[in-house]
Every structure is written in structure tokens, then in C-alpha cells.
Chains A and B, each alone.
Chain A
């Protein structure tokens, strides 16, 4: 196809429909992805056994590689839910999309991003963001245009997945890293003595069934509440509907 000698997978209509439907979501939870996969098999190829999700996605990703996009797996920062999102790997393409947003809108996003990264909690208040509006490049934006909701803004999991690399490169000093997984950290817990930080799900895993949690770095008592490790079975059993959680945090989409 492209004359490349890479060992790429094969796309069938099952994969195509999956990709099409996946693209209508910003981000999907693992169980939703599995359901999507089953649906696509049913539509196109009833008898074939449903491939293991990991392999299925890996296959698609090998084809997507030449397009510089990827179905990336991540974990929500607040409760450790496994999620998937289709992300863009080529940062040069990003500036092209500037044609869809006004300069002042882009600048606002950039500045809000900086506020979030610099913040202690990983959240930037709407007040702080609004204060930035006066300094924006481009056409003067009225505060009313910038306003979303009362409250605080943070980065959606999807944004973290997609922009992690860019953020680490652009803000190498301000950026926070998790001590356990070494990934980008926006929200998390921190040790009050030595300052190291950990994602909530990383805390959950690390201190699982440990009655006396101590900081892995300085050994001081870990002062925060240890969250539960995410258990997909327990969740489905309880019949909780997850969509409501998504709306908890106002998001920049």
C-alpha cells in the first residue's frame, strides 16, 4: 500500500465499522469498547470468534500507525477506570486545525492549560481563567464568551492521553509526574513531607491492603485517604450508570 515493509495488520469491515463508531466518541470506557467490538462482529461476521480486545486494537493500531493516529489506552485520573481514545500523534497536524478556531480561542485554551498545569490541585478556577481573557491574543474576547460554568476546570482524560507528550515537552519545569507510573500527573495526591506525587489509581494499587501506608520516597506516613482499586465487576454488578460521572467535571472539549 504505502510501499512500507512494516508488518501491518489487515482491516476488514468489522474493524472499519468499529473505527467509525469509535470516532463518534471522545473517549470510551473499556466495557463500552468491548460492546462496540461485539456489535461490529455481529454486523459483519457472525460466526467468527471475537478476537481478544487487546489484539484487536493492536491490529488496528498497526494500520493506523502510518496515519499518525492511535487508539490509546489510559486510565482516568480520579478513579482508575480504563479508557480508550483515538489520539493524534503528529503534532504538526495540530496547527492545521487552527483554522477551525479563532486565534483568541486557541490562546485561551493554551492559557487555561498553563493554569491547570501550574496549579497545585490540577484544577484552575473559572475566575482565574476569566482573568486571563484580557491578555489574549487576537480579537478581544468578551468575558461572557469565555465563561462556561462556575467551578473549576481540569484536563479531561482524553486531553491528557493526547497531549501528554506535548505538555511534557512544552512545560518541562512545571509539569508534575507520578512517582509510581512516571506518567504525566494533573490530579493526584502528594506527600506533605517530600512532595512526591502519585495518581489516585496508582495510590490505590500501591497501597492496596496496606494498613500503614508510607511514602515510597521518604517513608513518612501517607496522610491521605487511600482510594479503592477500580473493579469493573463490582461496578457493573451494582448497576451504576457511569455517564453521570462524566458530567461532574466541567470539561474543555
Chain B
């Protein structure tokens, strides 16, 4: 591409991926002979490897009723895991104390301990999301919760609430029952933000936006060969190193796929093998067809309505999202959203709509740069 094209604002609601987030840098783990530090509530309990036979895998079960449970490791599992979040009769909200006769026992969990756990979880989620890799429940349990794993839904719910209230980030499950989560920015990106950021944002977003636009305009799926034909006109090649984007092939077929912005599937019975690119689940959550259409229109200095088929499709999706259905609207408060279901639009996207391409509309001429 000759020079650096100036794109209109990318309509991706990703959390600002600061290279240096709040707590990633000056960390020092427990040093030799560490003195107890301010934040220490208890010495880290040894993980007991209790099976977490959680019946409820989706979070979002309201209520902080299960706040403090006595979870004595030596005894039989005391935390009630019955259906419907029934209360544990031995629930106590007393101080976190350790019983003298069971030195390794976690003890009843006080509000303060839980608060600290939620704080750790929030920090963990912020840092993990920076890399744009969906966060797995297993990682959360392994690195943050440990013995608190039985409280996963509750703690995650609280963390989600904090993330939304304090930072404006929504915690969303990538796909139903996937047990992987990402953060979506509930604040709209604004042009001037770019000047005030401490990092440079990611230059690769430009390439992503072009490809997302292309995919949508071409009817929600496009062959890899077509993508390269198009990108070639912009001076981007699969085999050639690019000044801004580095390795475009790797970006499109690996990095963006791993980040769940794109889906890359082999088309069966093709020879030579060809692949198909579609929007990934993260894209559906972070943006919308209308936003992408507006972006494409702006790049061409035209109006979204100049592509009537795509415009209708985008409009339909907007209505879909706005309608309160069984699976909550995308703009609902974090409370009901958290780790249960993604916005309605996600499932309906895949390949149910017939490609709406008519020759004159889907041509995406190279932006005059």
C-alpha cells in the first residue's frame, strides 16, 4: 500500500489493549524468605484436588447468597452443590479464621477474603484479555481460584460486575457452554482516543477490518484465494513480508483465528485445497454488520445504502439485537449477561443467510490511496 492509509475509526469494541496494563510489569513473585505482605490473608493453601462436581456450569446465577461458605477440606465436601444454588446451612460470614486443629484448612471464607479473590480475578481477566486469547475457565481455576474453585460462578459473576462498573468492560462467554471468556468494551471507541493512548494500538487491526469488510460484503463467507486476489491489489501478499503487517498469511490464518476474529475452514472436495474465511465469534460480539458496512462505505466515500442487500442484512441484524428475546439483548446490563449467553446475533450468523451478492454490489474496489 502506498503510504499509510488513514482509515476511519475501526468499529471494534475491544478493550484498549495496553501493552502495559495495570499490573503486568513490575511484578515480583514471592522472593526468598518473603515476609508476609499487606495483601496476604492466609498462607496459600495447598490445592486439594477436590473434584468440582459443579452442576451449574454457566455463571450468572444471581445472588450473593453463597457468599461465605465453610469449606473444610478435611471434612467431607461441605459446600452444597445442589441444583439451583441452594444455600449451605453452615454458611457463615464470620471472620476468616483458621482452626487450630486443621492447619491446612482454608476455613470459613470471610467477606474480605472473597473480596481479594474477586480482585485477583479481575486483574487476571484484564491481563489475559490483553493478548486477545479467550480466557479458559480451567486457567481461571488453576491460576486464581485454587481452593475457591467451588465458588467459580459466584466469583466470576462478581468479577464481571466489577469489570463493567469500574472499567466499562463486559465479560462475555465466547460461545454458549464453551467455558471461555472475552472482554468487550462497552464504551464506544472515539477517534481522539487514539492520540491519548499509551500504546500504538495494533496496526494489524487495519488488515483485519479490511478482511471483515470483504467477508461481509461477499455474503459472510469468502474463499481464501479470493481474499488474496483482493489484498494483492493493496500490496499485501501471502508470501511476502509486509512492512506494517509482517506476515499477512500468518495473521489471517493463525493469529486472527486464535483470537477468534476469524474462522478458517477447509472447503471439502476442493483440489487444490481451498479454505473459507468467515467472521469468528469475537467479531460478532465486538462489532456488527451495520458498523462494518458503515466502515466500508466510509472507505469508499459512499453511503451504506448504496449496497441495498448488505444494508438490509445489517438492518435485520440490528433489529434482531434490539429485540429482547429469551437470550438477552446485547446491550443488557452485565448482570444478566456475564457468563451465560452471547448476544442473540451470534448463532444466527453462520451460513443460514444465502449469499446476497450481486455483481455490482460486492465488488470492493481498492480504496483510492
Known A-B contacts A88-B23, A91-B38, A94-B29; A17 and B18 likewise in contact (beta carbons under 8 Å): no
A106 surroundings in chain B (CB, below 8 A): 28-29
Q: How large is the interface on B (under 10, 10 to 19, 20 to 34, 35 or more residues)?
A: 35 or more
Known A-B contacts A20-B185, A26-B198, A91-B38; A66 and B119 likewise in contact (beta carbons under 8 Å): yes
Whether the pair B28, A113 counts as a contact (CB closer than 8 A) is yes
Per the 8 Å Cβ criterion, residues 23-53 of B in contact with A are: 23-31, 34-35, 37-41, 44
Nearest residue (CB) in B for A101 is: B27
Q: CA A36 – CA B123 in complex, angstroms?
A: 23
CB of B20 to closest CB in A, whole Å: 4
Q: Cβ of A19 < 8 Å from any Cβ of B? A: yes
Q: Cβ of B15 < 8 Å from any Cβ of A? A: yes
Q: Which of B24, B29, B37 has the most CB of A within 10 A?
A: B29
A110 surroundings in chain B (CB, below 8 A): 28-29, 31
Known A-B contacts A1-B161, A11-B165, A165-B38; A88 and B28 likewise in contact (beta carbons under 8 Å): no
Q: CA A90 – CA B22 in complex, angstroms?
A: 12
Whether the pair A21, B16 counts as a contact (CB closer than 8 A) is yes
Q: Cβ of B193 < 8 Å from any Cβ of A? A: yes
Contact partner, A92, options B19, B20, B39, Cβ 8 Å: B39
The 0/1 profile, CB within 8 Å of B marked 1, for residues 89-104 of chain A is: 1111111111111000
Q: Cβ of A170 < 8 Å from any Cβ of B? A: yes
Whether the pair A90, B116 counts as a contact (CB closer than 8 A) is yes
A100 surroundings in chain B (CB, below 8 A): 24, 127
Tally of chain A residues near chain B (CB < 8 A) = 57
Q: Cβ of A25 < 8 Å from any Cβ of B? A: yes
Whether the pair A94, B27 counts as a contact (CB closer than 8 A) is yes
A64 surroundings in chain B (CB, below 8 A): 166
Q: CA A28 – CA B19 in complex, angstroms?
A: 14
Whether the pair B37, A163 counts as a contact (CB closer than 8 A) is no
Q: Cβ of B21 < 8 Å from any Cβ of A? A: yes
Contact partner, B29, options A35, A63, A98, Cβ 8 Å: A98
Nearest residue (CB) in A for B40 is: A92
Whether the pair B192, A93 counts as a contact (CB closer than 8 A) is no
Q: Which of B21, B26, B161, B190 has the most CB of A within 10 A?
A: B26
Q: CA A35 – CA B41 in complex, angstroms?
A: 38
Per the 8 Å Cβ criterion, residues 62-105 of A in contact with B are: 63-64, 66-69, 86-101
B119 surroundings in chain A (CB, below 8 A): 66-69, 90, 93
Q: Cβ of B64 < 8 Å from any Cβ of A? A: yes
Q: CA A151 – CA B180 in complex, angstroms?
A: 44
Whether the pair A36, B196 counts as a contact (CB closer than 8 A) is yes
The 0/1 profile, CB within 8 Å of A marked 1, for residues 178-204 of chain B is: 000000010100101100111100000
Whether the pair B144, A96 counts as a contact (CB closer than 8 A) is yes
Per the 8 Å Cβ criterion, residues 153-198 of A in contact with B are: 156, 158-159, 162-163, 165-166, 169-170
Q: Cβ of B7 < 8 Å from any Cβ of A? A: no
Whether the pair A28, B198 counts as a contact (CB closer than 8 A) is yes
CB of A124 to closest CB in B, whole Å: 15
Whether the pair A97, B165 counts as a contact (CB closer than 8 A) is no
CB of B245 to closest CB in A, whole Å: 21
Known A-B contacts A13-B168, A20-B187, A23-B21; A96 and B143 likewise in contact (beta carbons under 8 Å): yes
Q: CA A163 – CA B34 in complex, angstroms?
A: 14
Q: Cβ of B137 < 8 Å from any Cβ of A? A: no
Whether the pair B30, A25 counts as a contact (CB closer than 8 A) is no
Q: Cβ of A24 < 8 Å from any Cβ of B? A: yes
Contact partner, A158, options B19, B26, B34, B166, Cβ 8 Å: B26
Whether the pair A93, B37 counts as a contact (CB closer than 8 A) is no
Whether the pair A93, B23 counts as a contact (CB closer than 8 A) is yes
Known A-B contacts A13-B187, A21-B197, A99-B143; A86 and B22 likewise in contact (beta carbons under 8 Å): yes
Whether the pair A170, B22 counts as a contact (CB closer than 8 A) is no
Q: CA A19 – CA B27 in complex, angstroms?
A: 20
Q: Cβ of B275 < 8 Å from any Cβ of A? A: no
Q: CA A35 – CA B23 in complex, angstroms?
A: 23
Nearest residue (CB) in A for B190 is: A43
Whether the pair B199, A109 counts as a contact (CB closer than 8 A) is no
Whether the pair B120, A90 counts as a contact (CB closer than 8 A) is yes
CB of B155 to closest CB in A, whole Å: 12
Q: CA A223 – CA B16 in complex, angstroms?
A: 48
Q: Cβ of A241 < 8 Å from any Cβ of B? A: no
Q: Cβ of B124 < 8 Å from any Cβ of A? A: yes
Whether the pair B196, A93 counts as a contact (CB closer than 8 A) is no
Whether the pair A169, B115 counts as a contact (CB closer than 8 A) is no
Nearest residue (CB) in B for A68 is: B119
Q: Cβ of A253 < 8 Å from any Cβ of B? A: yes
Whether the pair B187, A96 counts as a contact (CB closer than 8 A) is no
Whether the pair A16, B187 counts as a contact (CB closer than 8 A) is yes
Contact partner, B25, options A19, A35, A43, A158, Cβ 8 Å: A158
B residues lining the A interface (CB < 8 Å):
15-31, 34-35, 37-41, 44, 64, 67, 111, 115-116, 118-120, 122-124, 126-127, 143-144, 158, 161-162, 165-168, 185, 187, 190, 192-193, 196-199
In addition to A28-B198, A156-B26, 7 A-B residue pairs with Cβ atoms within 8 Å of each other are A2-B111, A21-B193, A42-B192, A67-B162, A68-B116, A88-B22, A163-B28
30 contacts between A and B (CB under 8 A): A2-B115, A3-B64, A3-B67, A11-B165, A17-B187, A17-B193, A19-B166, A21-B196, A21-B197, A26-B25, A67-B122, A68-B116, A68-B120, A69-B119, A69-B123, A88-B22, A88-B23, A89-B38, A89-B39, A91-B39, A92-B37, A97-B23, A97-B27, A110-B29, A110-B31, A158-B25, A158-B26, A162-B25, A170-B34, A253-B20
Query: What 6 A-B pairs have minimum CB-CB distances, sorted nearest first?
Result: A25-B198, A24-B18, A90-B39, A16-B168, A91-B37, A159-B26
